């Protein structure tokens, strides 16, 4: 399976999902509460089509999930070189588009 997200993106998506599940909020409801299309959170959590959260999303998610934006990030950092991962993912997508 081809990797579609960097390690830090995966960490953030999983942290949001964990908090959402702790509060018993379903993905569609959370999507609508942050003002996005109904299936945005579901597609993000399924790693579909490169969906991911940006800083604006995380700010609103923190409000709704009653936590800090920092709660979505690792305590210090992830060990992997996420810039390198990003470039590899981007290059693979470019190659797939050429086919």
Give the chain's residues under pLDDT 70: 1
How far apart are the C-alpha atoms of 61 and 93, rounded to whole Å? 28
**In 3-state terms, what secondary structure has residue 51?**
coil
How far apart are the C-alpha atoms of 72 and 61, rounded to whole Å? 10
What residue spans define the domains of the chain? 7-98
Residue 37 confidence (pLDDT): 96
CATH topology of domain 7-98: 434 Repressor (Amino-terminal Domain) (1.10.260)
**In 3-state terms, what secondary structure has residue 77?**
coil
Residue 50 confidence (pLDDT): 86
Q: Do 34 and 57 contact (CB within 8 A), yes or no?
A: yes
Predicted TM-score (pTM) of the model is 0.92
Strand segments (E) across 1-99: none
Q: How far, rounded to the nearest angstrom, does the alpha carbon of residue 11 sit from its chain's CA centroid?
A: 8
Q: Which one, of 54, 42, 34, 38, lies nearest residue 17 by Cα?
A: 42
How far apart are the C-alpha atoms of 66 and 51, rounded to whole Å? 23
Residue 49 confidence (pLDDT): 82
């Amino acid at each position: 399976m081809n990797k579609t997200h960097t390690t830090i993106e995966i960490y953030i998506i999983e942290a949001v999902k964990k908090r959402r599940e702790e509060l018993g909020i379903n993905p569609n409801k959370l999507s609508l509460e942050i003002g996005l299309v109904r299936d945005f959170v579901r597609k993000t959590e399924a790693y579909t089509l490169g969906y991911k959260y940006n800083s604006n999303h995380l700010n609103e998610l923190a409000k709704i999930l009653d936590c800090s934006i920092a709660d979505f990030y690792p305590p210090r950092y992830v060990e992997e070189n996420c810039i390198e991962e990003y470039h590899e993912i981007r290059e693979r997508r470019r190659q797939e588009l050429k086919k």
